[in-house]
Structure 1
Amino acid sequence: MPTSSLLDAIRAAKAREDDAARELLIGVAQWADAHTTGALMPDLYGTYSHPDEEAYDAAEAAWTARFGMPGADTMLDLAGAGAPEVSDFAVTELSTALGRTRESGRLLVGDAIEAKHRLPRVWARLLAGQVTAWRVRRLAQATRGLSAEAAGFVDAQVAHVIHTAGPVVVDRLVLEASARFDPESTEVAECDTRANLYFDLDLTSPATSVGAASAVSADGLLDRADAEDLETAIRQIAHQLLLDGSTDDLAVRRAKALGYIARGQDLLPEADGEANRDDQATQDQRVAQDGRETQDGRAASASERRREPATDTPTGPGTRTAPRRVVVLTVHLSDAALTGAPQIDPVTGRLGLNLARLDNRHQLLTADAIREWCGTPGTHVIVKPVIDLAERVAVDSYEVPDRIATRIKLTRTTCSFPHCRRPAESSDLDHTIEYVPPDQGGPPGQTSTDNLAPLCRHDHRAKTHPSPAGRPWAVTGLSPGHWLWTSPHGQQYL
């Protein structure tokens, strides 16, 4: 069979599998609807998300009154507040018919009920065949612990992108909904976390052997800004050790870097005598051949190991590079969050929290944490204006200036290759239409916001070099943030 026909057959089999899973989830929801009293589950949680004992007692009394005796069929609350309850024995029969355990069957039924009754927009897309069942189930499992209002917020925000939304996006949206609709619990959790920071070195536990007694374990829960600062220092000293001739692997050098930090040493000690210093050419050759980490101290990928090392780091005799103690955190927040003014949440209409988004780690934080970080002595804060992402910016040069790169990576936060979820901030920026130098007849403004796409290094190589089919991937820009990809076998992906 030709490879193109084989690929078509594989895609057809996958489509049938997706259709079957979709029909299964829809059928399970119908089975649950046929075995319910129609009573909706109350919100059994009160202030600060603590269980409401009275609500629990009332629900239990209603079940007992309905069935008359302990041990009879009961109604299960398998989804969140506002979803109908379902017969326990009906779930047991369905689980048996599907060859599932009771626990697995309850999880499946709970996902179907949660999606149909608490995520109606997402469910409508499932019925229309526009989203796979596994994506709907994953979202349903994430929203089950939210209030009905919070689940509705997630449904409205994610329904139009559920077919492509990755787990990071979904989880962050669920956390945002929880913070918006239950700000009290968020504040309590933040206070508890700050009060329970710790760092321990296990210096007292007896070693398992004399040979292992020379090392101790460490454990801790650190403030995020402090942890970012510590990570930067460890990474740079570990890389400096490599440049100084260390043959240890990255994990060992990171552990040793903590010792230099503990002794207050920003610079590695000079070796005694010229005999202990490497010749510059030998040093550069060792770094180039080592291939175990990148310039920033992290583990290198296979493609990065094949690239030439950076040459702008001074490593000559007598030269030591001090690690920079600069941590860059890209934060998005409002002016009200900066001043600490009370905020009426635009979604809930109630007094809520000022929230901030930390782009570097894809994390949502309270503005109180950001203000505390900014108040630390020596902190350098840069406030940038809001960027108009609809504005077209273009230059004639091949190199991409920061003002264009920032717009591209804010418009598309992940690699633009189909189904790739690698972050755009660490990806290459590729010219959708191949760049032609102006002195060779190329038009002006080729490097622009509508002719660039973020591509991770692997997918950039797939677009640049031919595959076994003899052709590379091809891409056509449709609009900012949207591309049409054509595979070497002619398959197209939007």
Structure 2
Amino acid sequence: MRADHADLTAFDTTIGRLAAALKRDGSIESLDVRRSMAVGIIADPARAQALLEATDAKVPAAREVFAYLHLTEANLLGLDPVTLDHTGRPHLTQTVATWAGRDDLRLTITPVHHCTGCARCESARGAHTHDARATTQHDPRPHQRVQVELQDPTCVFPYCTRPTRSCDLDHRVPFPEGATCPCNLTPLCRHHHRLKTHAGWHYQPRGPAGAGEYDWTDRYGQRFTRTREGTQPAHHL
């Protein structure tokens, strides 16, 4: 953090006061840990004020933890201490359990269904069992966008790294012939969506459903393979 010396000094002083207040209220953590906790508390002014004034008033949680975590059976049984989020970043399950026990955080746990080749999604065209909205509604529903974001965190055009949350969701098989379903939706940023639609680029999924691998071909016949690890021209494969 870069700021005026006077402001940083005041900030550091407040961090120290909050760390001391945490110890006063029973925290057994080290000073460094309590200071790191104090940084988060400052983001919740009501709780920070209550701590500094030593009031006993119960302050409703004002901060929310938002993360998609892939919990396996081993995680839940305590056999694997590490879980991954949708970007591949590791998190200790002990840390997640600590979040659940804190009264200053709102922790929401939401199950997410991954569309990875189930019977109803084997085909995006022809006879299938998608619900009526999948074939009559062009725009994906919020939970469908979440599924696509978890499957492909970024635009899948070669070399692009724009996050999926700011991308269009392309129908691989054009709507309405192709369903509005995660099995037929791919994240493309607006620029690359236009290249695919108007400039002769085309692609096909590679490997099993949900693998995050795509074969791309440009208007001149050059081919690229895009995976979660990056992009490679076809002649390097």
- Could you tell me the TM-score, scaled by structure 2's length? 0.54
Confirm whether residue 463 of structure 1 aligns to residue 196 of structure 2: yes
Give how far 1:490 is off. Answer: 3.2
1:490–1:407 distance in 2 versus 1, CA, 3 Å = same
Choose 1 or 2 for highest CA Rg: 1
Whether contact under 8 Å (1:432, 1:477) holds in the other structure is no
Give how far 1:373 is off. Answer: 0.5
Give how far 1:331 is off. Answer: 1.8
List aligned pairs for 1:319-334, cutoff 5 A: 325-334=63-72
Residue in structure 1 matched with residue 83 of structure 2 by the alignment: 356
User: Per residue, is there more strand in 1 or in 2?
Assistant: 2
Whether contact under 8 Å (1:414, 1:454) holds in the other structure is yes
Whether contact under 8 Å (1:337, 1:355) holds in the other structure is yes
Give how far 1:326 is off. Answer: 3.2
Residue in structure 2 matched with residue 390 of structure 1 by the alignment: 117
Residue in structure 1 matched with residue 216 of structure 2 by the alignment: 485
- Count of aligned positions: 174
List aligned pairs for 1:424-439, cutoff 5 A: 424-435=164-175
What CA distance in whole angstroms lies between the structure 2 residues aligned with 1:336 and 1:486?
40
Three-state SS of the structure 1 residue aligned to 2:98 is: helix
Counterpart AA for 2:215: L
What CA distance in whole angstroms lies between the structure 1 residues aligned with 2:159 and 2:5?
48
User: Per residue, is there more helix in 1 or in 2?
Assistant: 1
Alpha carbon RMSD of aligned pairs, Å?
4.2
Residue in structure 2 matched with residue 401 of structure 1 by the alignment: 141
Counterpart AA for 2:171: H
Residue in structure 1 matched with residue 98 of structure 2 by the alignment: 372
Whether contact under 8 Å (1:408, 1:454) holds in the other structure is yes
Counterpart AA for 2:117: A
What CA distance in whole angstroms lies between the structure 2 residues aligned with 1:476 and 1:423?
20
Larger RCO: Structure 1 or Structure 2 (Cα < 8 Å, ≥ 6 residues apart)?
Answer: 2
Gaps of 5+ in 1: 1-199, 203-211, 234-257, 265-323, 344-352, 436-441, 466-470
Residue in structure 2 matched with residue 245 of structure 1 by the alignment: none
List aligned pairs for 1:294-305, cutoff 5 A: none
Residue in structure 1 matched with residue 57 of structure 2 by the alignment: none
Gaps of 5+ in 2: 16-34, 51-61, 122-129, 226-237
1:370–1:489 distance in 2 versus 1, CA, 3 Å = same
Whether contact under 8 Å (1:354, 1:367) holds in the other structure is yes
Residue in structure 1 matched with residue 181 of structure 2 by the alignment: 448
List aligned pairs for 1:14-413, cutoff 5 A: 215-216=7-8, 222=36, 226=40, 230=43, 325-334=63-72, 337-338=75-76, 342-343=78-79, 353-359=80-86, 362-377=88-103, 379-384=106-111, 387=114, 389-391=116-118, 392-393=120-121, 394=130, 395-396=134-135, 397-413=137-153
Three-state SS of the structure 1 residue aligned to 2:187 is: strand
Counterpart AA for 1:381: T
What CA distance in whole angstroms lies between the structure 1 residues aligned with 2:74 and 2:202?
45
What CA distance in whole angstroms lies between the structure 1 residues aligned with 2:221 and 2:98?
54
What CA distance in whole angstroms lies between the structure 2 residues aligned with 1:388 and 1:453?
12
Three-state SS of the structure 2 residue aligned to 1:379 is: strand
What CA distance in whole angstroms lies between the structure 2 residues aligned with 1:421 and 1:215?
36
Give how far 1:417 is off. Answer: 0.8
Whether contact under 8 Å (1:450, 1:477) holds in the other structure is no
- Could you tell me the TM-score, scaled by structure 1's length? 0.29
1:337–1:482 distance in 2 versus 1, CA, 3 Å = closer
Whether contact under 8 Å (1:451, 1:477) holds in the other structure is no
Whether contact under 8 Å (2:139, 2:180) holds in the other structure is yes
Q: Percent identity?
A: 26
What CA distance in whole angstroms lies between the structure 2 residues aligned with 1:261 and 1:373?
16
